Copies of this chain bind each other. A is one copy, B any other.
């Protein structure tokens, strides 16, 4: 057990849309991810998903509206709800969700990332 410095962890990778695990709490994982551009529409049938913006700003598009998140803001996407994250400029975020959640949810895509990649 060592403490985890979010900025240090973020500086250790540069790829986009590829979540890196930094911590586990019970059967939940904390992941850092850098995003830029458009993700795909998807949902997670079995779990809510938390977004926390560490640096930059991003949007989450829903079927009926779009929310914008800036540094220091968080959002809980409810399970089963279709959403599409995007960011015009690179944005650094933390995700909190159960272990084994696939980033593209119900969709298989080029953007589907490997799970359990730790930094």
**Which residue numbers of A lie inside 8 Å of B, CB to CB?**
1, 3-7, 22-26, 28, 30, 47-50, 54, 67-69, 72-76, 78-79, 96-98
Q: Taking the nearest CB of chain B, how far is it from the CB of A24, in angstroms? A: 7
Query: A-side binding surface: helix, strand, loop or mixed?
Result: strand
* Chain B residues whose C-beta falls within 8 Å of the C-beta of A6 in the assembled complex: 72-74
Give Cα A73 to B7, complex, Å. 8
Of all chain B residues, which has the CB nearest A6?
B72
- Given B25, B75, B97, which contacts A4 in the complex, CB threshold below 8 Å? B75
Of all chain B residues, which has the CB nearest A77?
B1
| Cβ contact within 8 Å between A49 and B25 | yes
* Chain B residues whose C-beta falls within 8 Å of the C-beta of A23 in the assembled complex: 50, 74, 76
